[in-house]
Amino acid sequence: MKSVLDTYHLDFPYRKVVLAPELSFQHTFFPYHTDYIGNEQYDDWLKDKRKVKSPLKHKQLKAAEVLLKHSQTTYVKRPAWDVEKGLMEE
């Protein structure tokens, strides 16, 4: 992530999060600047994220844009989408 942001000359603070609401983390040592959110912390973490009321800022949107440029998207067309499309056309 740092190299992608550096390529576009964006200085954007970030923290890495390993989000696993169904798992429990047993380690006593975690890497620097990485949050491990397991089943014990998930509810509190989610409540904290929902409390944030500030709107997205320009710098946040630019960072999201450059990260999406360097992401791979894979999808599989689902039969249900054809049914929904048919309903919308009626």
Residue with tokens 């989408």: 81
In DSSP notation, 19-69 reads E-TT-----S---TTEEEE-TTTHHHHHHHHHH--PPPPHHHHHHHHHHHH
Structural domain that includes position 66: 2-89
pLDDT digits (tens, 9 = 90+) for 21-74: 999 988 767 777 888 999 999 999 999 988 888 887 888 999 999 999 988 888
pLDDT digits (tens, 9 = 90+) for 1-20: 889 999 999 888 888 899 99
Under 8 Å between Cβ of 40 and 22: no
pTM for this entry: 0.58
Q: How many domains does the chain have?
A: 1
pLDDT at 86 over 70: no
